[in-house]
Amino acid sequence: MSADHDITETLDAQGLNCPMPVVKSKQAIDGLASGEVLEVVATDPGSMSDIEGWAESTNGVELLEQIEGDDVYKHYVRKTDE
């Protein structure tokens, strides 16, 4: 997979542990318009499952992609009309 998304905003959540990447992601996505994409960059391996679970259980949020790199995890979330 590749991160070929039209990114509106990047959230640097590096160094933050659960649940802060999700908390910060929610705050950031609330400030976006429908259709805009938030890139979340985290160092917490738990962010992979945490952000996926948050996106699945939250109306108005669509998880587009997750990329696991060398100690860095990137998440791409789109705000939707729901």
CATH label of the domain that carries residue 11: 3.30.110.40
Q: Quick one: pLDDT at residue 81? A: 83
Amino acid at 70: D
CB 19 within 8 A of CB 46: no
pLDDT score at 1: 45
Residue ranges of the chain with per-residue pLDDT less than 50: 1
Q: What is the pLDDT of residue 5?
A: 86
How many structural domains are present in the chain? 1
Q: Which residues contact 6 (CB under 8 A, 6 or more apart)?
A: 37
Res 3: pLDDT: 63
| Mean pLDDT score of the chain | 94
- Give the position of tokens 């998440």: 75
Specify if 72 maps to a domain.
yes
Write the CB contacts of 11 (distance below 8 Å, at least 6 apart in sequence): 24, 25, 28, 38, 39, 40, 41
Residue 30 within any structural domain of the chain: yes
Label residue 40 exposed, middle or buried (CB < 10 Å: 0-12, 13-18, 19+). Answer: buried
Does residue 2 form part of some domain? no
Q: What is the pTM of this model?
A: 0.93
Residue 18 annotated among the catalytic residues of the structure? yes
Q: Which domain holds residue 66?
A: 7-79
Residue 66 inside a domain? The answer is yes
Choose, from 3, 18, 41, 64, the residue flagged as catalytic.
18
